[in-house]
């Protein structure tokens, strides 16, 4: 029986995406990690901050009391890593959403308004661009009170939007020349409505690809900051501070590093792969 052809643009893209083996693997891995992060801790009798004095720095084992071992304080690594993945995903998804909203809004407006305003808006982005995100994020998180997830979220979101804004502005400038925008303008549709109804929906493709990359980048930034002691604070677990602890115990207990590092690498690998596949699926000529 022939597959019914999806009529929508999104349906066709999804079909092309799922035809690729690497995209299926990436989606499967992301789904698994997500499900584990949500439900996994329920399967274990241990809590994230329970200290098990009889099992300090215990190596992993399926029959052991702690499946993925424990750290120097006897805290269960399985539960801690999964709760760290949960926090990382939460922070990075929200920060990505925030930076996307700012980036799309800023870029679309800068591309659409006539005259020099748009140029000046982008000049502002260029200036911020000459400092890398991490510099700004580090300064912001070091200055603001530490340990608050809201602060972390806001600092990440506040700097992640620059590239999105650039991409969106470029696309908007191209879209502006298209007949249907001109038609809308000729019909007297107000500019704000043109941006919301006609420009933004047409930007979704490139934005979607970049969003996947943004999520990976945010996960990376969050763990980077937590590794430096600027992000999520102990006793709360984050992939960054777990890896930091693991790096201290390198010589005696390698699993304390390898367990959270494995999850982080798997997450980043899957997201990068998905973004690659998505880019090809959206642009069939490039594949």
Partner 1 sequence: MLSYALRRLAGLLPTLLVILTLSFAILRSAPGGPFDQEQALSPQVRANLTRAYGLDQPWPRQYLHYLRGLAHGDFGPSLRARDFTVRELIAQGLPVSATLGACAFALALALGLPCGIAAALHAQRGTDRVLAVLSALLLALPSFVIGPLLALLFGIGLGWLPVAGWQPGGGRFLILPALTLGLPVAAYLARLMRASLLETLRAPFVRSAQARGLGPLRVLWRHALPPALLPVVSYLGPTLAFLITGSLVVESVFGLPGTGRYLVQGAIDRDYPLVLGMIVVYATLTLLLNLLVDLAYGWLDPRVRHA
Please tell me whether residue 285 binds partner 1 under the rule CB under 8 A. Answer: no
Please tell me whether residue 184 binds partner 1 under the rule CB under 8 A. Answer: no
Q: Which of residues 196-225 bind partner 1 (CB under 8 A)?
A: 220, 223-224
- Residue closer to partner 1 by CB (options 14, 268) is 268
DSSP codes of every residue in 247-259:
HHTTTT-THHHHH
- Residue closer to partner 1 by CB (options 103, 231) is 231
Structure tokens at 31: 């789904």
Please tell me whether residue 183 binds partner 1 under the rule CB under 8 A. Answer: no
Please tell me whether residue 272 binds partner 1 under the rule CB under 8 A. Answer: yes
The footprint of partner 1 on this chain (CB under 8 A) covers a number of residues equal to: 36
> What percent helix, strand, coil does the chain show, rounded to 5?
70, 0, 30
Please tell me whether residue 151 binds partner 1 under the rule CB under 8 A. Answer: no
Termini Cα distance of the chain: 27
Given a contact cutoff of 8 angstroms between Cβ atoms, the answer to whether 40 and 85 are in contact is no
- Residue closer to partner 1 by CB (options 134, 208) is 134
Buried b (16+ CB within 10 A) or exposed e, 213-243: bbbbbbbbbbbbbbbeebbbeeebbbbbbbb
Please tell me whether residue 10 binds partner 1 under the rule CB under 8 A. Answer: no
Give φ, ψ of 70 to 5 degrees: -130, 165
Q: Radius of gyration of the chain from Cα atoms? A: 22
Q: Which of 51, 134, 151, 204 binds partner 1 (CB under 8 A)?
A: 134
Q: Which of 15, 247, 284, 287 binds partner 1 (CB under 8 A)?
A: 247
Please tell me whether residue 25 binds partner 1 under the rule CB under 8 A. Answer: no
Q: Which of 153, 195, 246, 281 binds partner 1 (CB under 8 A)?
A: 246
- Residue closer to partner 1 by CB (options 42, 127) is 127
CA–CA gap between residue 143 and residue 151 (Å, rounded): 10
Give the x/- contact pattern for partner 1 in 84-123, rule: CB under 8 A.
----------------------------------------
Q: Which of 131, 174, 183, 192 binds partner 1 (CB under 8 A)?
A: 131
Q: By C-alpha distance, which of 247, 281, 251 is closest to 264?
A: 247
Cα 14-96-104 angle, rounded to 5 deg: 80
Interacting stretch for partner 1, rule CB under 8 A, among 61-69, 99-107, 109-117, 266-274? 266-274
Please tell me whether residue 32 binds partner 1 under the rule CB under 8 A. Answer: no
CA–CA gap between residue 55 and residue 187 (Å, rounded): 73
CA–CA gap between residue 237 and residue 224 (Å, rounded): 13
Please tell me whether residue 228 binds partner 1 under the rule CB under 8 A. Answer: yes
Structure tokens at 239: 């992939």
Q: Which of 35, 139, 183, 192 binds partner 1 (CB under 8 A)?
A: 139
Structure tokens at 281: 């699926």
Residue ranges binding partner 1 (CB under 8 A): 126-127, 130-132, 134-135, 138-140, 142-145, 220, 223-224, 227-228, 230, 240, 243-244, 246-247, 250-251, 254, 257, 261, 264-265, 268-269, 272-273
């Amino acid at each position: 029986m022939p597959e019914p052809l999806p009529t929508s643009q999104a349906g066709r893209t999804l079909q092309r995406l799922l035809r690729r083996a690497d995209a299926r693997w990436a989606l499967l891995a992301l789904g698994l990690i997500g499900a584990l992060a949500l439900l996994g801790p329920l399967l274990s009798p241990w809590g994230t901050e329970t200290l098990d004095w009889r099992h300090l720095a215990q190596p992993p084992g399926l029959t052991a009391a702690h499946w993925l071992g424990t750290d120097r304080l006897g805290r269960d690594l399985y539960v801690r890593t999964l709760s760290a993945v949960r926090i990382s995903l939460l922070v990075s998804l929200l920060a990505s959403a925030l930076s996307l909203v700012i980036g799309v809004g800023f870029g679309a407006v800068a591309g659409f308004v006539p005259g020099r305003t748009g140029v000046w808006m982008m000049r502002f982005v260029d200036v911020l661009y000459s400092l890398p995100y991490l510099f700004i994020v580090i300064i912001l998180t070091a200055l603001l009170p530490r340990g608050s997830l809201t602060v972390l979220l806001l600092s990440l979101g506040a700097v992640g939007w620059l590239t999105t804004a650039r991409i969106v502005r470029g696309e908007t400038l191209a879209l502006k020349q298209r007949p249907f925008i001109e038609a809308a303008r000729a019909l007297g549709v107000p500019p704000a409505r043109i941006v919301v109804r006609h420009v933004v929906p047409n930007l979704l493709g490139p934005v979607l690809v970049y969003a996947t990359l943004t999520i990976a980048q945010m996960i990376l930034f969050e763990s980077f900051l937590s590794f430096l002691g600027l992000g999520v604070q102990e006793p709360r677990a984050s992939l960054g501070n777990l890896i930091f602890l693991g790096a201290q115990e390198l010589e005696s207990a390698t699993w304390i590093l390898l367990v959270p590092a494995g999850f982080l690498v798997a997450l980043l690998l899957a997201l990068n792969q998905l973004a690659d596949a998505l880019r090809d699926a959206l642009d069939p000529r490039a594949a």
